[in-house]
Amino acid sequence: MIQDLPIADRPVRLLLISRKWFCDDPSCSLKVFTERYDWLAPHSRRTLRAEHILRQIAFSTSCLAAEKIAQAIHLLLLKSFFLRFLMKSIAKIRLNLQKIAIFY
């Protein structure tokens, strides 16, 4: 199940069935290929637009306030989610800054 932004104050969960292809060639490095979507990151449980909104909420408020805001817009998430989400986002930012510093 994939979580998306609510519609008309109703929570939205998407059941996504993607196609898989298998490669029988022994020289092939990837044995299983799956269908990818531009609105969903690989192995993600939320759409990119839901992640964007959650990132804005997490970076603009405290985790306790973010939990209340998320519940008000029918995204059932706990404050611990926002803590993990912030830590992952900060780690990605640091990695990108290190890449920029190396190329500079």
Does the global pTM surpass 0.75?
no
Could you give the dihedral angle defined by the CA atoms of residues 43, 77, 57 and 48, in that order, rounded to the nearest 10 degrees? 20
Q: How many domains does the chain have?
A: 1
Query: Residue 15's pLDDT is what?
Result: 92
Query: Residue 47's pLDDT is what?
Result: 92
Which pLDDT tens digits describe the chain residue by residue (104 residues)? 898 888 988 888 899 888 888 888 888 888 888 888 899 988 888 899 988 888 888 888 888 888 888 888 888 787 788 888 888 877 777 666 666 656 55
Domain that holds residue 6: 2-103
Going from the C-alpha of 100 to that of each of 89, 96, 103, the distances in angstroms are 17, 6, 5
Query: Residue 103's pLDDT is what?
Result: 57
